[in-house]
């Protein structure tokens, strides 16, 4: 279950963006269907890891996106929740994955007293 | 509070460093991913017989130095990473292992044998030039669409243990076609490290890729 390692990486990303550990109530993560990441497995371990890293016991909110694919034969664009086998318009296998592998921490909500302090943002690109 | 930070950034940054270091040293790196027992180490022993000291190997396993010892006996340098429980290699572990290889004795090929697992290693870029997915005949010909995260990302598909084909029902065309349905550009080889079938083509391809670095 590589989600344990990913949860540790998430905690590191959050602490870096906040400039240090803060108590959080919610963490929202975006997971694409082609990322190979299980939101359920991530939720299973994230709260405990966050707690151990001084982030309180935040609830993990998983926002799932859809993949976008473009057929390089006929140009058809379609959206999918998985690796659909081919272009629904012409049946070709020649397609380009436009999106769907994304996996990023979208936002956090500070809890209690931490929420009243100055907020820190990071504009790292996706 | 908006953050919008990719979780894999740290790994991907180190992987990019690795890729630059491999290129700087004139090394073609390939990362071999399969389930346990598919024949990764046996393939590397066969490549060691072909490439000898031109190849070095980073071995990833949860425990033991068994695979590194096999590679050294086959005539190549090898570094063993024992993950201690982790189900995959990451770029930082590969960076550390690569730094321990003596570059004064130059080599052309760096094989990275990942931890046996068809799921977790697929998410981690190690800095390799070629991501290799390996499937052996005894595993069955229905695996590609069951593990799409791996088979959609690989550059090369190796079907291994082809010498066992007379003893089992395995449709190699099915596997290759399903892999292309996820991954139209994938390069495929059918090999038996034991009999040598397909090994000359694979070695020729790797030599060609090294020359075009």
**Residue A40 confidence (pLDDT):** 92
To the nearest whole percent, how much of chain B has pLDDT over 70?
100
CB contact under 8 A, A29 and B7: yes
Q: A72 pLDDT exceeds 50? A: yes
Which helix H or strand E contains A4, and what residues bound it?
A: helix A3-18
Least confident segment among A55-59, A82-86, B128-132, B147-151: A82-86
Q: Give just the sign of the alpha carbon dihedral B168, B171, B172, B178.
A: negative
Which helix H or strand E contains A18, and what residues bound it?
A: helix A3-18
Of the pLDDT bands very low, low, confident and very high (cuts 50, 70, 90), residue A54 is very high
Instruction: Inform me whether the C-beta atom of residue B182 falls under 8 Å from chain A C-beta atoms.
Output: yes
- CA-nearest residue of chain A to B153? A34
CB B88 within 8 A of CB B120: yes
β-pair type (B28-33, B130-136): parallel
**Residue A122 confidence (pLDDT):** 47
Q: Name which of A41, A56, A60, A83 to mutate to probe chain B: the one with the most chain B Cβ atoms within 10 A of its Cβ.
A: A83
**Residue A114 confidence (pLDDT):** 65
Of the pLDDT bands very low, low, confident and very high (cuts 50, 70, 90), residue A116 is low
Task: Give B84→chain A minimum CA distance, Å.
Answer: 13
Query: What is the spatial distance between Cα B46 and Cα B189, in angstroms, rounded to a whole number?
Result: 15
Q: Which of A2, A102, A108 is the closest to B3 by Cβ?
A: A108
Query: What is the spatial distance between Cα A108 and Cα A7, in angstroms, rounded to a whole number?
Result: 14
Query: What is the spatial distance between Cα A124 and Cα A112, in angstroms, rounded to a whole number?
Result: 26
Three-state DSSP class for residue A23: coil
Q: What is the DSSP string of chain B?
A: -EEEEETTHHHHHHHHHHHHHHHHTT-EEEEEE--TTSSHHHHHHHHHHHHGGGEEEEEEESS-SHHHHHHHHHTSEEEEEE-TT-SS--HHHHHHHHHTS-TTS--SEEEEE--S-SSGGGG---S-SEEEEEEEGGG-TT-TTTSHHHHTT-SEEEEE-GGGGGGS---HHHHHHHHHHH-TT-EEEE--TTT-TTHHHHHHHHHHHHHT-
**Residue A32 confidence (pLDDT):** 95
**Residue A86 confidence (pLDDT):** 81
pLDDT beneath 70: ranges in chain B: none
Using alpha carbons, list the distances in angstroms from residue A90 to A78, A112, B124, B180, B191: 12, 55, 33, 16, 34
CB contact under 8 A, A17 and B11: no
Computed over every residue of chain A, the mean pLDDT equals: 88
Query: What is the spatial distance between Cα B108 and Cα B28, in angstroms, rounded to a whole number?
Result: 6
Which ipTM was obtained for this model?
0.82
Q: What is the DSSP string of B140-202?
A: -TT-TTTSHHHHTT-SEEEEE-GGGGGGS---HHHHHHHHHHH-TT-EEEE--TTT-TTHHHH
**Residue A84 confidence (pLDDT):** 76
**Residue A118 confidence (pLDDT):** 52
Beta bridge mates, B112: B31, B58
Looking up tokens 């190699």, which residue turns up? Answer: B172
Of the pLDDT bands very low, low, confident and very high (cuts 50, 70, 90), residue A126 is very low
Phi then psi dihedrals of residue B59, to 5 deg: -100, 130
Chain A residues closer than 8 Å to B6 by CB: 13, 102-104, 124, 126
Q: A105 pLDDT exceeds 70? A: yes
Instruction: Inform me whether the C-beta atom of residue B86 falls under 8 Å from chain A C-beta atoms.
Output: yes
């Amino acid at each position: 279950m590589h989600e344990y390692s990913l949860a540790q990486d998430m905690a590191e990303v959050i602490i870096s963006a906040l400039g240090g550990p803060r108590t959080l109530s919610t963490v929202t993560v975006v997971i694409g269907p082609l990322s190979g990441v299980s939101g359920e497995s991530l939720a299973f371990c994230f709260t405990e890891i966050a707690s151990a890293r001084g982030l309180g016991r935040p609830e993990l909110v998983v926002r799932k996106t859809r993949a976008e694919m473009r057929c390089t034969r006929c140009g058809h664009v379609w959206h999918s929740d998985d690796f659909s086998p081919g272009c629904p318009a012409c049946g070709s296998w020649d397609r380009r994955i436009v999106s769907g592998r994304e996996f990023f921490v979208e936002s956090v909500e500070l809890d209690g007293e931490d929420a009243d302090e100055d907020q820190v943002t990071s504009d790292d690109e996706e | 509070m908006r953050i919008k930070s990719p979780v894999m950034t740290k790994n991907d940054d180190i992987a990019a460093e690795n890729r630059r270091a491999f290129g700087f040293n004139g090394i073609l790196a390939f990362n071999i991913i399969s389930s346990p027992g598919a024949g990764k180490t046996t393939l590397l022993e066969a490549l060691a017989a072909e490439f000898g000291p031109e190849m070095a190997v980073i071995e990833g396993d949860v425990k033991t130095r068994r695979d590194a010892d096999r590679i050294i006996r086959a005539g190549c340098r090898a570094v063993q990473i024992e993950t201690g429980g982790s189900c995959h290699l990451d770029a930082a572990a590969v960076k550390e292992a690569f730094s321990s290889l003596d570059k004064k004795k130059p080599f052309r090929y760096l094989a990275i044998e990942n931890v046996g697992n068809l799921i977790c290693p697929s998410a981690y870029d190690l800095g390799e030039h070629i991501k290799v997915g390996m499937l052996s005949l005894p595993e069955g010909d229905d695996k590609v669409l069951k593990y799409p995260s791996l088979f959609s990302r690989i550059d090369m598909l190796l079907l291994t243990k082809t010498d066992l084909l007379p003893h089992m029902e395995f449709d190699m065309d099915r596997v290759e076609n399903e892999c292309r349905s996820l991954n139209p550009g994938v390069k495929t080889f059918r090999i038996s490290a034991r009999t040598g079938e397909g090994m000359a083509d694979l070695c020729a391809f790797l030599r060609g890729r090294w020359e075009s670095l």
